[in-house]
Amino acid sequence: MNLLKSGLALLILAACDSPHPAFNAVQRQTITVQGSTFQIRIRNDIAEAIRTNFEFNPKSRAIFPKATKAIEMVSGCKVVPDSMEGDPALVRARIDCP
């Protein structure tokens, strides 16, 4: 029974940094901004930022600006205002590239 619980917990934890299916084949780039580590994937004009480090009780209002900076640093593009959606673990945003 303990082996089953351990296996289930490992499976759940492994899924924590899995991208959306639309981003599966997209190369990721890892970047740390002000103590938050993100895996960034860019596909067309959409960016996905998955936070991979532990932070005690993270809030969207603290994580979204960091995710914005991470996306902009990796993509070289600007995040479209008011396009961010998600939660402190996974953020998606539209980007505007010149």
SS (H, E, C) 29-84: EEEEECCEEEEEEEECCEEEEEECCCCCCCCHHHHHHHHHHHHHHHHCCEECCCCC
Residue 5 has pLDDT above 60, yes or no: no
Closest-CA residue to 48 (of 73, 84, 15): 84
Q: Is it the case that residue 95 has pLDDT exceeding 90?
A: yes
Q: For residues 4 and 83, which has the higher predicted lDDT (pLDDT)?
A: 83
Q: Which of 13-17, 20-24, 78-82 has the lowest mean pLDDT?
A: 13-17
**19 CB neighbour count, 10 Å cutoff:** 16
Q: What is the pLDDT of residues 31-68, one digit of tens each?
A: 999 999 999 999 999 999 999 999 999 999 999 999 99
Is residue 9 pLDDT above 50, yes or no? no
pTM for this prediction:
0.78
Domain locations along the chain: 19-96
Give the pLDDT of residue 26: 72
